[in-house]
């Protein structure tokens, strides 16, 4: 099967999640009579409360016998730990820009990293049906932004589509008939290259996302860069810094289908998959066949930008409100969050 792996970049409220909803519906992923929740990609409780994308996440659907793997990224630097590592999984990016607001400052963060990785963009001017849309000016602003960020000639020659994600259509020219998202999906297949594959090499996968499941434990997601993966194959995880090795078997191999992770017996080179069963392996580690001894090169992750000190509450009102009242409970909660969030670093300070 052919694959196309791409990330979607957009500022908050520029219609990224709504556009993905429309892709799901038109790909046949859901039955015509099946209830689909709006903003399905923002399934985290905090994301739904605030109406923003916080966690990077993967999904996929099949269109014209081609598997499209989508990586949804936060659109701003506040959640940088969720952005930079996942760009190594994709071969192109979709830049979504509001037809009224134009490119916003927080979009620059993800776009800068994407251009630095030589990823070629597809620009989608969304919400062109708004009464205050200023399409020509926004296109000029997008081009100026690319120039300011040092885009090369190939990246500057980006295709442009005009869309209304809420109404589920996209066109290459504004006077084209508004039907569905077929022009956008065709452009993705044409302009996002097929991932480079080497099926005859030993299995190698770079872990780029970490999640925690109460039933599966640590769930490690990444793109298979070489070889193929099969259930029960012996593997090991190599840490790029310490060189430490964790040995295991591929007891759980998961592929993405819509919003679900489904168990599969094997996965092909170039696909994005998730692996469960390893207890120590984390982001930037290489999971590979046992004969591979050299870890894959990984991208650095920006360090945390906020530091907090948790200490005993010596206030006269301490312990009279709330549920997490002891340091042990707070420590356990932080450890649980760190299991699935590589951006969090927990240390016990040495106080005088």
Same domain? For 309 and 281 the reply is: no
Q: Report DSSP letters for 260-288, one per residue.
A: EEEE-SEE-TT-EEEEE--SS--TT-EEE
Q: Quick one: pLDDT at residue 307? A: 85
The single residue listed with the structure tokens 């659907």 is: 61
Q: State which of 241, 262, 289 marks the end of a domain.
A: 289
Same domain? For 178 and 216 the reply is: no
Q: Which domain holds residue 252?
A: 204-289
The single residue listed with the structure tokens 């080497």 is: 198
Distances 164 to 84, 129, 179 between C-alpha atoms, Å: 28, 7, 11
Q: Quick one: pLDDT at residue 38? A: 46
Q: Is position 83 within any domain?
A: yes
Same domain? For 17 and 97 the reply is: yes
Q: Is position 299 within any domain?
A: no
Length of the chain: 352
Strand ranges for 186-319 from DSSP E: 204-213, 217-226, 229-230, 234-238, 245-249, 252-257, 260-263, 266-267, 272-276, 286-289
Least confident of 7-16, 91-100, 199-208, 279-288: 7-16
Number of domains in the chain: 3
10 exposed, middle or buried (CB, 10 Å; 0-12, 13-18, 19+)? buried
Same domain? For 15 and 155 the reply is: yes
Q: Which two tokens stand for residue 154?
A: 């190939």
The single residue listed with the structure tokens 């982001």 is: 283
Query: Residue ranges of the alpha helices (H) in 62-170?
Result: 107-116, 135-148, 153-156
Percent of the chain at pLDDT above 70?
A: 84
Q: How confident is the model at residue 40 (pLDDT cuts 50, 70, 90)?
A: very low
State the Cα–Cα distance between residues 8 and 72, nearest whole angstrom: 6
Same domain? For 329 and 229 the reply is: no
Q: Is position 294 within any domain?
A: no
Percent of the chain at pLDDT above 90?
A: 45
Same domain? For 175 and 142 the reply is: yes
* Helix, strand, coil percent values for the chain (each to nearest 5): 25, 30, 50
The single residue listed with the structure tokens 């993800």 is: 110
146 exposed, middle or buried (CB, 10 Å; 0-12, 13-18, 19+)? buried
The single residue listed with the structure tokens 């759980």 is: 252
CATH number at residue 251: 2.40.30.10
pLDDT surpassing 80 at residue 65: yes
Same domain? For 148 and 229 the reply is: no
Q: What is the mean pLDDT of residues 70-74?
A: 80
Q: Is position 199 within any domain?
A: no
SS3 category, 249: strand
Q: State which of 156, 191, 226 marks the end of a domain.
A: 191
Higher-pLDDT residue of 53 and 71 is 71
Quick one: which of 98, 99, 92, 57 has its CA closest to 74? 57
Q: What is the mean pLDDT of residues 115-122?
A: 93
């Amino acid at each position: 099967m052919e694959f196309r792996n791409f990330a979607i970049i957009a500022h908050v409220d520029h219609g990224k999640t709504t556009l993905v909803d429309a892709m799901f519906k038109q790909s046949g992923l859901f039955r015509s009579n099946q209830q689909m929740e709006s903003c399905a990609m923002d399934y985290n409780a905090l994301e739904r409360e605030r109406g923003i994308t916080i966690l990077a996440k993967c999904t996929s659907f099949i269109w014209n016998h081609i598997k499209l793997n989508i990586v949804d990224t936060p659109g701003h630097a506040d959640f940088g730990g969720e952005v930079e590592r996942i760009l190594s999984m994709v071969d192109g990016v979709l830049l979504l820009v509001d037809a009224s607001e134009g490119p916003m400052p927080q979009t620059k963060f993800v776009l800068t990293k994407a251009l630095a990785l030589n990823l070629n963009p597809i620009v989608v001017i969304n919400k062109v049906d708004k009464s205050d849309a200023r399409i020509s000016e926004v296109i000029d602003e997008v081009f100026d932004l690319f120039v300011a960020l040092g885009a090369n000639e190939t990246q500057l020659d980006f295709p442009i589509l005009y869309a209304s994600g809420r109404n589920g259509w996209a066109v290459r020219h504004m006077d084209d008939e508004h039907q569905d998202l077929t022009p956008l999906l065709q452009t993705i297949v044409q302009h996002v290259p097929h991932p480079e594959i080497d099926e005859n090499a030993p299995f190698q996968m770079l872990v780029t996302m970490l999640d925690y499941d109460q039933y599966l434990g640590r769930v490690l997601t990444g793109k298979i860069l070489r070889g193929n993966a099969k259930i029960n194959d012996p593997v090991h995880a190599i840490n790029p810094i310490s060189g430490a090795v964790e040995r295991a078997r591929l007891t759980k191999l998961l592929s993405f289908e819509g919003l679900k992770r489904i168990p599969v017996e094997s996965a092909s080179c170039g696909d994005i998959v998730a692996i469960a069963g390893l207890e120590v392996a984390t982001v930037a580690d290489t999971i590979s066949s046992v004969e591979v001894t050299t870890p894959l090169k990984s991208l650095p992750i920006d360090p945390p930008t906020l530091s907090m000190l948790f200490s005993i509450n010596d206030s006269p009102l301490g312990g009279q409100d709330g549920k997490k009242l002891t340091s042990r409970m707070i420590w356990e909660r932080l450890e649980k969050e760190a299991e699935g969030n590589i951006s969090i670093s927990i240390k016990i300070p040495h106080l005088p």
